[in-house]
Amino acid sequence: NAGVMQNPRHLVRRRGQEARLRCSPMKGHSHVYWYRQLPEEGLKFMVYLQKENIIDESGMPKERFSAEFPKEGPSILRIQQVVRGDSAAYFCASSPMVGTAKNTDTQYFGPGTRLTVL
Amino acid sequence: QQPVQSPQAVILREGEDAVINCSSSKALYSVHWYRQKHGEAPVFLMILLKGGEQKGHEKISASFNEKKQQSSLYLTASQLSYSGTYFCALYGNNRLAFGKGNQVVVIP
């Protein structure tokens, strides 16, 4: 069973360009989370999605950032008009959500996309 | 609801033991522990549930004290492979809230 897959692993963009990050959850997982990590910091929640639904995007900046998880295909985190401050590692996690006990649901992380904005 | 982790960094020799802590200002129902090596993804170690249950992964075990609102991770007879940053995370409001991490360095 393949783990969570993310691509690209490294992405370099110039200021003002768009960055598109992809995440394929583990097989059988229908819940996807995106987190951002700055150097020497913990992970910060950005957005929580289920298939075709954004459940919670309260951790994501309202401008320039968007996320989707279509019925078919990977989840996409899109950053428009990138700025230097967007440079970070972006991790995607997926969970199976067995039952309704979210606090016991394990999230499994992908290898991350390291975004560098020049 | 970000948990507080201590100590910030630990250096120990191979074979030694260490304890790292994670505490919360709010009531705990579950604590998730992850280990992250430099440049890699966080790897799930274990989840501790309300009730004081202890769990283990390799020679790494953890306890959950809901009265103290704290979880502790015990690294026993540490191996070089234990080096990394250990994060605890609490679930609430549709997300895991991660602490800033405990950096563990095991030297030969």
Measure in Å the smallest separation between the Cα of A4 and chain B Cα atoms: 10
Give just the sign of the alpha carbon dihedral A84, A89, A92, A93.
negative
**Tokens 């679930």, located at residue:** B91
Whole-number pLDDT of residue A89:
96
pLDDT lower than 50: segments of chain B: none
| Residues of chain B positioned with their CB less than 8 A from the CB of A94 | none
Q: Does the structure show a pLDDT above 80 at A105? A: no
Whole-number pLDDT of residue B28:
76
Contact check, Cβ <8 Å, B96/A43: yes
Contact check, Cβ <8 Å, A109/B92: no
Residue predicted with more confidence, B55 or A2: A2
**Encoded amino acid at A60, one letter:** M
Q: A2-16, A101-115, B8-22: which has the minimum mean pLDDT? A: A101-115
Q: Does the structure show a pLDDT above 70 at A1? A: no
DSSP string, A78-116: EE-S--GGG-EEEEEEEE---TT-GGGPPPEE---EEEE
Mean pLDDT, chain A, as a whole number?
Answer: 91
Whole-number pLDDT of residue B51:
66
Q: Is B9 within 8 Å of B106 (Cβ atoms)?
A: no
Radius of gyration (C-alpha) of chain A in whole angstroms: 14
Whole-number pLDDT of residue B92:
79
Q: Does the structure show a pLDDT above 60 at A99? A: no
Q: Does the structure show a pLDDT above 60 at A100? A: no
Q: Does the structure show a pLDDT above 60 at A85? A: yes
Contact check, Cβ <8 Å, B42/A91: yes
